[in-house]
Amino acid sequence: MAQSIPVQNDLVVLLENGTSTTGRPLTKRLSYKNVKLTASDDDVYAVAQGIIGLQEKNSLAVYKVSTVEITE
């Protein structure tokens, strides 16, 4: 039976970054690698809110990206 082993967590904050010449919304990603594997979702979100508070642009989303290795 396959098992998943946590390898890495990343925090990604998606921000508004204006509009294109055709009127489409543009976004900017802020990525923070190697978030502690033991960090809770609440802790990661709290850090993201702190980062967002330092930005001039509006936030659109916060992502916690988890990478796992799948083995037998």
pLDDT tens string 27-71: 999 999 999 999 999 999 999 999 999 999 999 999 999 999 999
Question: What is the pLDDT, as a whole number, of residue 12?
Answer: 98
Could you tell me the end-to-end alpha-carbon distance of the chain, in angstroms, rounded to an integer? 6
- How do residues 15-36 score in pLDDT, each as one tens digit? 999 999 999 999 999 999 999 9
Q: How many residues does the chain have?
A: 72
User: Which residues have CB under 8 Å from 44's CB, separation 6+?
Assistant: 9, 11, 35, 62, 64
Pairing of strands 59-71, 3-19: antiparallel
